[in-house]
Every structure is written in C-alpha cells, then in structure tokens.
C-alpha cells in the first residue's frame, strides 16, 4: 500500500547503497532559505546544488567511519529530495489539476488550482516569460520557477491530494501553511506552463 506524503515531518530519512553497503542520511525538512540557496546554486550544476543542500540540512548519518562522508554520497542522498516536477495537467470546470513526479514512492500527489483570472493571469504569464529568460540565460531547459512566484500558490490553490498532516488528509489550509516550497514551485510550474501563451509554449518546447 502506497503511503501519503506527510507535510509535518521532524526529519527525513534517506538511504543510499554504494558497493553493497547501506548508508543512512537524516535531514531536517528544507526551509524556504534552503530552497532559495539550492535554486541559486543550480546555475553551477545540479550536483553542486545538491551538495550545498546536504550541507545546510543534514542532521546526522549512519554507516560511516569517523564521520568521513564522500562528497558523492552527499549529493546522491540529497538529490532524492530535489526530484519534483509536474507530470500531467488536466483542466475541467474552472479548475486545473497538476500531478507531480517526486523522488518518493507513495500516493500520487496532485495540486488542484482554480483558474487564474484578470491580474492573476497576467502574473502567470509574467512568471512564465521570466522562467523562459532564465532557461535561455543558463542554457538549461528545466530550471525551477523563480521564488517570487510562491505567493501565487496560496492565492490559487483549491485542494491537494496525496498529502497528510499528522496522518490526516491535508486541507487547503494545510497546503497554504505547510506545503514544501519545492512542491509549491513544481505545481505552479505545471499551472504556468498550461496557461502560457501558445507562442511561448512553442519556444519552450
């Protein structure tokens, strides 16, 4: 049975296997400043960004001698925390449902947004244009959305599926208060891409 994604974790346990040995890394949940530092470091490459994230949020490790942890292990453990991208978008009756693919194996994660209107739609298109410029500037096709897009999540989110808070199904209020920023930005990315002007979608393809 697949388990839901808990939004209020005290720690995150990540196990990696190298050469037949198992090593365990325990992280605190990343905060806004951690993801901002990670996103900025992506300009130098994902491995470096993951190593930076590891340094910021590691709590303890198991399986290593004298706390000697190879740099490759750090990035390998942290990279699972950074896998979060929109996989599918479906729109019906004024709502847009964005499904996410993450590094966790659990219930499908879905963010349901109400359709942006007026100034909200203008903001969606402004964010998409800024995202395109960032991708072009760093010659990378899959950059995250800028952090200033985050307020749009709280404005538009209607409900979520696949998440729990202390074991109980997460409500919209829980999503606004506790949702991980990586998941917010990934879900918004799906929404923004869906509502981008046709000519901008073509240039992003």
pLDDT at 203 over 60: no
pLDDT at 202: 45
Say how many Å lie between the first and final Cα of the chain, rounded.
36
Closest CA to 50 of 72, 22, 21: 72
Q: In what order do the strands lie in the sheet with 168-169?
A: 5-6, 163-165, 168-169
Task: Look at residue 103 and tell me whether its pLDDT is greater than 80.
Answer: no
Any idea which of 68-77, 97-106, 115-124, 158-167 has the lowest mean pLDDT? 97-106
pLDDT band at 199, cuts 50/70/90? very low
Which residue do the tokens 């393809």 mark?
Answer: 205
Q: What domains can be seen in the chain, in order of their start residue?
A: 5-82 (3.30.2220), 84-204 (no CATH)
Calculate the average pLDDT of the chain. 89
pLDDT digits (tens, 9 = 90+) for 13-31: 999 998 889 999 999 999 9
Q: Give the pLDDT band of residue 105 (cuts 50, 70, 90).
A: low
pLDDT for position 66: 62
CB-based contact 157:177 (threshold 8 Å): no
What digits encode the pLDDT tens for the residues 113-161? 999 999 999 999 999 999 998 888 877 777 888 889 999 999 999 999 9
Please give the share of the chain, as a percent, with pLDDT higher than 90. Answer: 66
Cα–Cα distance, 86 to 190 (Å, whole number): 5
- CA torsion sign for 164, 166, 171, 175 is negative
54-63, 100-109, 162-171, 182-191: which has the minimum mean pLDDT? Answer: 100-109
Rounded average pLDDT over 50-72: 90
Angle subtended by helix axes 32-41 and 46-57, to nearest 10: 150
Taking only Cα atoms into account, the Rg of the chain, rounded to an integer number of angstroms, comes to 18
Is residue 159 a contact partner of residue 172, using CB atoms and an 8 Å limit?
Answer: yes
Q: What is the distance between the alpha carbons of residues 23 and 152, in angstroms, rounded to a whole number?
A: 39
What's the pTM value of the predicted model, to 2 decimals?
0.86
User: CA 115, CA 96: separation in Å to the nearest integer?
Assistant: 6
Q: How far is CA 43 from CA 38, 78, 129, 134, 178, in A?
A: 9, 17, 18, 10, 27
């Amino acid at each position: 049975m697949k388990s839901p994604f808990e939004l209020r974790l005290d720690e995150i346990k990540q196990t990696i296997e190298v050469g037949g040995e198992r090593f365990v890394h325990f992280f605190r949940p990343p905060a806004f400043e951690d993801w901002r530092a990670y996103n900025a470091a992506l300009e130098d490459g994902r491995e470096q960004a993951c190593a930076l994230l590891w340094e910021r949020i590691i709590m303890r490790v198991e399986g290593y001698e004298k706390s000697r942890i190879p740099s490759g292990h750090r990035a390998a453990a942290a990279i699972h925390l950074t896998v979060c991208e929109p996989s599918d978008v479906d729109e019906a009756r004024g709502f847009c449902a964005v499904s996410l693919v993450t590094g966790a194996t659990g219930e499908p994660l879905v963010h349901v947004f109400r359709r942006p209107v007026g100034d909200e739609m203008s903001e969606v298109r402004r964010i998409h244009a800024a995202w395109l410029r960032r991708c072009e500037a760093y010659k990378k096709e899959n950059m995250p959305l800028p952090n200033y897009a985050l307020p749009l999540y709280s404005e538009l989110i209607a409900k979520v599926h696949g998440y729990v808070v202390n074991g109980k199904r997460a409500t919209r209020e829980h999503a606004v208060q506790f949702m991980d920023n990586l998941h917010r930005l990934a879900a918004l990315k799906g929404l923004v891409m869906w509502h981008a002007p046709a000519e901008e979608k073509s240039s992003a393809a």
